[in-house]
A and B are shown apart, each in its own frame.
Chain A
Amino acid sequence: MWDYTDRVMDHFHSPRNVGRIDEPDGVGHVGSLACGDALTLMFKLGADGRISEAKFQTFGCASAIASSSVLTEMMLGMTVDEAEKITNQEIAARLGGLPEQKMHCSVMGREALEAAIHNYRTGEPGVAKSHEGHERIVCQCFGVSEGEILRVARENNLSSVEQVTHYCKAGGACGKCRDDIGALLRQVMDERQPAAPTAAKPLTNLQKIRLIEEVIERDIRPLLLRDGGDLELVDVVGDRVVIAFRGLCAGCASASLTREGVVQAKLREFVSPELVVVEEKA
């Protein structure tokens, strides 16, 4: 079995925002039955220009369903311009990570989102760019274009053909295009040479704080409430997260265990492994 995180399994078992929207503002379709996974993503804008409704239908494995589900949660409340900036790494990160062989599920989510935004802006059908046909298709089996391969390699800092296959499926069937993919990969790695290799784009402070708040709300507070406790986010200074315990947690003998084992562990899992959680000094 795959080593899926609890969040992947949660979204798989209880997918959010399943279905279709009547008169959507944007619709994106990617994948196919033949490829083994497919996603239809729809959204509708509210009067304030923010995404007020997002729905999906997915044919695919547990991680494909979870990636689609979490994506709809992420989109809600965003403007189209904000949603457009969602990366596949962010989708995977919100799930607490995906096995590398399953990263293509997060890429499928990002592609469907872009396709839906394209449909919203132009009125043209929302299909993934790689399937439009005016780009060179490198992987015939899965219909993956040169542009898509270059993009996942750049955005995810990939360095092997195998990784490219894990992220966008290219090269995963007959294997005839693997040399081609290798050449594209060398091109991307040459571009990378001057700068030191960097990992995924770091979150801005604002994004970080928002994410911390969300994780507290969704993953931490319910646990504390169950035991009659609560907590408050006081401040975020760099990677230092200052909190204050409330209710039964305040003054509880095992509060420091809760701080490290629950609050810090969850925030490290879902926001950033660098975070250090401290309690506010009275």
Chain B
Amino acid sequence: MSRTVYLDNNATTAVAPEVLEAMLPFFCDQYGNPSSMHSFGGQVGRAVENARASVAGLLGADPSEIIFTSCGSEADNHAILGAVEAMGPQTVVITSRVEHPAVLEPCRILRERGHKVLPIGVDGVGQLDLQELAAALMEPGPKFVSIMWANNETGVVFPLQEVARMVKAADGVLHTDAVQAIGKLDVDLSRLPVDLLALSGHKIHAPKGVGALYVRRGTRLNSFLHGGHQERGRRAGTENVPGIVGLGAAAALAREELGAESRRQAELRDRLEEGLLRTCPDTRINGDRRQRLPNTTNISFEFIEGEAILYHLSDAGVCASSGSACTSGTLEPSHVIRAMGVPFTAVHGSIRFSLSRYNTAADIDRVLEVMPGIVNKLRALSPFVK
């Protein structure tokens, strides 16, 4: 078996050794309950607060504005359902067509509950249609807007500054699913009027099972889990202390490395893209190449199918993902790629490579070494290649 080349970091990342090290004391030694009235628990409570300060530091927020959750999906669900419930039954919900299911599904539930839900489209490179957003914001009544910061499949970054300006001008509440943006883009909520923001630990080298929701002071939000005073009564349940400490350590690491890592990963990503475009004909990049996460590329190989490509890549030790129907768990290809109007010759053959701090030039070389052979092999099988 060849060395594993992991290029699926938008799915999940390795826990950083420094993160694991920070977590370890909180399993067997400092295992107290932060709520307990003894110093054994109290010291654990301080570790949770340090982690909160660290996450707040990464976001340019106040620690009191951070709620720890069990994952990014919980943070999105809490933000959307909790805020709209607090805003009342007349609230109009505005979102985009390319959101993660953790946003799409709560919005669907709100539609079933009788809310008007307006999904905003994207253009051919996956950029948000700001005119459509402006029109939606003209709707009467209170408005709740949930627009992702960066797309998980294509890496396309939405102009959140502009979106926030528009939403605030319409007196709306703005939530953003920033799960893919955190640790990859500069985020400063002291200068960006977002009300709610969801993030996930395992996308930034913390373990799975921890996330956070930023709630700007003054935002009305109903609690989501009931039965305890934790997280200022907004999220009941004994804290996942090791996970939270891990998230704090990962946030500190991300803050420290952000600029340099972004540049390094973007260089590798560009080399990968250019190499693939050069060596594999009938290949296209999906997404806005000017406004994109530094670590992500989404490439369509025309006339061949994504699952077949992934299995061959996997044999070569390369981990990636695809928006093809066969891998999406449904019979339809990715809703993101379809919303962009990608031609149907290319929809099923879309492959996403996503990098992290652990990828090297050798990883990129490995993909460039094996990919042309895989594409040729599958195209030789395809009835659509003459």
Majority DSSP secondary structure for residues of A touching B? mixed
Chain A: CB-nearest residue to B346 = A33
> Can you list 24 A-B contacts with CB-CB less than 8 angstroms, sorted by A residue number?
A1-B311, A12-B308, A12-B311, A33-B384, A34-B344, A36-B333, A58-B381, A58-B383, A59-B305, A59-B382, A59-B384, A60-B305, A60-B308, A61-B305, A61-B308, A61-B324, A61-B326, A65-B308, A142-B331, A169-B331, A172-B330, A172-B331, A173-B330, A173-B332
User: Is B304 located at the chain interface by the 8 A CB criterion?
Assistant: yes
Could you give, for residues 114-148 of chain A, a 1 whenever the CB lies within 8 Å of some chain B CB and a 0 otherwise? 00000000000000000000000000011000000
Given A36-B331, A36-B348, A57:B381 Cβ within 8 A: yes
Q: How far is the CA of A156 from the CA of B344 in the complex (A)?
A: 31
User: Is B177 located at the chain interface by the 8 A CB criterion?
Assistant: no
User: Is A62 located at the chain interface by the 8 A CB criterion?
Assistant: yes
Q: How far is the CA of A217 from the CA of B333 in the complex (A)?
A: 40
The answer to whether A58 touches B382 (Cβ under 8 A) is yes
User: Is B380 located at the chain interface by the 8 A CB criterion?
Assistant: yes
The answer to whether A62 touches B307 (Cβ under 8 A) is yes
The answer to whether A38 touches B384 (Cβ under 8 A) is yes
Q: Collect the chain A residues with CB atoms within 8 Å of residue B382's CB.
A: 57-59
The answer to whether A62 touches B344 (Cβ under 8 A) is no
Q: How large is the interface on B (under 10, 10 to 19, 20 to 34, 35 or more residues)?
A: 20 to 34
Given A59-B303, A60-B308, A61-B305, A33:B331 Cβ within 8 A: no
Contact for A61 among B307, B330, B380, B384, CB less than 8 A? B307
Q: Collect the chain A residues with CB atoms within 8 Å of residue B303's CB.
A: 33, 59
State how many angstroms separate the Cβ of B291 from the closest Cβ of chain A.
Answer: 29
Which residues of chain B in 301-348 are interfacial with respect to chain A, using CB atoms and an 8 Å cutoff? 303-308, 311, 314-315, 324-326, 330-333, 344-345, 347-348
Q: Collect the chain A residues with CB atoms within 8 Å of residue B383's CB.
A: 29, 38-40, 57-59
Chain A: CB-nearest residue to B348 = A36
State how many angstroms separate the Cβ of A214 from the closest Cβ of chain B.
Answer: 24
Given contacts A57-B382, A57-B383, 7 further A-B contacts (CB under 8 A): A36-B348, A38-B384, A59-B303, A59-B305, A59-B384, A60-B326, A65-B308
User: Is A165 located at the chain interface by the 8 A CB criterion?
Assistant: yes
Number of A residues whose C-beta is below 8 Å from B? Answer: 28
User: Is A37 located at the chain interface by the 8 A CB criterion?
Assistant: yes
User: Is A96 located at the chain interface by the 8 A CB criterion?
Assistant: no
Q: How far is the CA of A63 from the CA of B305 in the complex (A)?
A: 11
The answer to whether A62 touches B381 (Cβ under 8 A) is no
Which residues of chain B in 159-174 are interfacial with respect to chain A, using CB atoms and an 8 Å cutoff? none
Q: How far is the CA of A65 from the CA of B326 in the complex (A)?
A: 13
Q: Collect the chain B residues with CB atoms within 8 Å of residue A59's CB.
A: 303-305, 348, 381-384
Q: How far is the CA of A18 from the CA of B383 in the complex (A)?
A: 10
Q: Collect the chain B residues with CB atoms within 8 Å of residue A64's CB.
A: 305
Could you give, for residues 23-51 of chain A, a 1 whenever the CB lies within 8 Å of some chain B CB and a 0 otherwise? 00000010001101111100000000000
Chain A: CB-nearest residue to B326 = A61
Contact for B311 among A57, A62, A141, A142, CB less than 8 A? A62
Q: How far is the CA of A38 from the CA of B315 in the complex (A)?
A: 24
Could you give, for residues 1-34 of chain A, a 1 whenever the CB lies within 8 Å of some chain B CB and a 0 otherwise? 1000000010011010010000000000100011
Chain B: CB-nearest residue to A40 = B383
Q: Collect the chain A residues with CB atoms within 8 Å of residue B324's CB.
A: 36, 61
Q: Collect the chain A residues with CB atoms within 8 Å of residue B325's CB.
A: 36
The answer to whether B380 touches A36 (Cβ under 8 A) is no
Instruction: Among B305, B324, B326, B331, find the residue whose CB has the most chain A CB atoms closer than 10 A.
Output: B331
Q: Collect the chain B residues with CB atoms within 8 Å of residue A57's CB.
A: 381-383
Q: Collect the chain B residues with CB atoms within 8 Å of residue A172's CB.
A: 330-332
Question: Which 3 pairs, one residue from A and one from B, show the smallest C-beta to C-beta distance?
Answer: A172-B331, A61-B307, A57-B383
The answer to whether A18 touches B344 (Cβ under 8 A) is no
Q: How far is the CA of A137 from the CA of B282 in the complex (A)?
A: 34
Q: Collect the chain A residues with CB atoms within 8 Å of residue B326's CB.
A: 36, 60-61
Q: How far is the CA of A59 from the CA of B381 in the complex (A)?
A: 7
Instruction: Among A57, A61, A172, find the residue whose CB has the most chain B CB atoms closer than 10 A.
Output: A61
Q: How far is the CA of A165 from the CA of B382 in the complex (A)?
A: 24
State how many angstroms separate the Cβ of B112 from the closest Cβ of chain A.
Answer: 15
Q: How far is the CA of A36 from the CA of B305 in the complex (A)?
A: 7
State how many angstroms separate the Cβ of A268 from the closest Cβ of chain B.
Answer: 26
Could you give, for residues 169-199 of chain A, a 1 whenever the CB lies within 8 Å of some chain B CB and a 0 otherwise? 1001100000000000000000000000000
Q: How far is the CA of A33 from the CA of B380 in the complex (A)?
A: 16
Q: How far is the CA of A15 from the CA of B377 in the complex (A)?
A: 10
Q: Collect the chain A residues with CB atoms within 8 Å of residue B307's CB.
A: 61-62
The answer to whether A18 touches B305 (Cβ under 8 A) is no
State how many angstroms separate the Cβ of A109 from the closest Cβ of chain B.
Answer: 14
Contact for A173 among B305, B311, B331, B344, CB less than 8 A? B331
Chain A: CB-nearest residue to B325 = A36
Q: How far is the CA of A33 from the CA of B324 in the complex (A)?
A: 12
Instruction: Among A40, A60, A64, A165, find the residue whose CB has the most chain B CB atoms closer than 10 A.
Output: A60
Instruction: Among B307, B380, B384, find the residue whose CB has the most chain A CB atoms closer than 10 A.
Output: B307
State how many angstroms separate the Cβ of A249 from the closest Cβ of chain B.
Answer: 31
Could you give, for residues 195-207 of chain A, a 1 whenever the CB lies within 8 Å of some chain B CB and a 0 otherwise? 0000000000000
Q: Collect the chain A residues with CB atoms within 8 Å of residue B381's CB.
A: 15, 18, 57-59, 65
Q: Collect the chain A residues with CB atoms within 8 Å of residue B305's CB.
A: 36-37, 59-61, 64
Q: How far is the CA of A173 from the CA of B325 in the complex (A)?
A: 10
Could you give, for residues 149-181 of chain A, a 1 whenever the CB lies within 8 Å of some chain B CB and a 0 otherwise? 000000000000000010001001100000000
Q: How far is the CA of A62 from the CA of B348 in the complex (A)?
A: 13
Chain B: CB-nearest residue to A105 = B326
Instruction: Among B303, B330, B333, B348, find the residue whose CB has the most chain A CB atoms closer than 10 A.
Output: B348
Q: Collect the chain B residues with CB atoms within 8 Å of residue A165's CB.
A: 331
Which residues of chain B in 322-380 are interfacial with respect to chain A, using CB atoms and an 8 Å cutoff? 324-326, 330-333, 344-345, 347-348, 380
Q: How far is the CA of A56 from the CA of B381 in the complex (A)?
A: 8
Chain A: CB-nearest residue to B382 = A59
Instruction: Among B314, B324, B332, B383, find the residue whose CB has the most chain A CB atoms closer than 10 A.
Output: B383
Chain B: CB-nearest residue to A39 = B383
Q: How far is the CA of A142 from the CA of B384 in the complex (A)?
A: 19
